[in-house]
Amino acid sequence: MTISFSVVDEQHDFVVLDKAPGISFHSDDGPGLVAKATATLGYALFPVHRLDKVTSGLIILARSSSAAAELTALFTAHQVEKYYLALSVGRSAKKQGWIKGDMVPSRRSAWKLLNSQHNPAVTYFVSRGYDELPFRAYLLKPFSGKTHQIRVAMKSLGAAISGDVLYQAEMADRVYLHAYALQFTLSGQQYQYVRPPKCGDKFQQLLQHDGLSEWRLPWQLSWPEYKQPKQVNR
């Protein structure tokens, strides 16, 4: 039987789960993550953000409607720091930096990044390569929350995420995108979570190579501040 998730932490107001890849968040073709977690844990759970079906890793579910409202407000205000881990065999246009642009629907349920900046998806990333491994690792911090944002950002670099055939990457045993870390403050208390990926041959190679040694606490890295552009009144 496929394991859908594991419990990382249970708090009074929320739970943090480690979602397996290939598990739908919503109950589209059978019970989704929220329904499965509710049945397993035995109490009501409320979504406050989501992960794509192909993405594994950390996700928060609220345990009450009031907690859901508080957490949703944090996500809406971009006060939850999220860090994603991705692997690619492609050659990226740059090794670190900003990826900014408006996103619009493309073909086959995909999205594409534009040069315009009206309501942009904003991501900053760092990366590193390994002499002994046939891929490059990327640590990405989104400053906005758009559908497929990380996947589109990586494609725009010329380094589509390994296994993400929707964005013209090579076939692999999974899409190599993982929600790696979260940091936020709720009711005056700070919470920090880091969860290395478990599933996937390439992720296993990365861990055996100690490839995440520099990124164990990603919020301690030197991330630039993103300043919203001022609106021009016309």
In our burial notation (b when 16+ CB lie closer than 10 A, e otherwise), range 221-233 reads eeeeebeeeeeee
| Rounded-to-integer distance, Cα 182 and Cα 201, Å | 24
| Rounded-to-integer distance, Cα 34 and Cα 61, Å | 8
Among 52, 164, 173, 210, which one carries the catalytic annotation?
A: 52
CA-CA-CA-CA dihedral for 19, 24, 29, 30, to nearest 10:
30
Contact 28, 41 (CB under 8 A): no
| Rounded-to-integer distance, Cα 142 and Cα 123, Å | 4
- Torsions phi, psi for 37 (to 5 deg): -65, -40
Strand partners, 7: 17
Known catalytic membership, residue 52:
yes
Q: With 0-12 CB in 10 A as exposed, 13-18 as middle and 19+ as buried, what is 216?
A: exposed
Q: With 0-12 CB in 10 A as exposed, 13-18 as middle and 19+ as buried, what is 87?
A: buried
Residues marked active site are found at 52
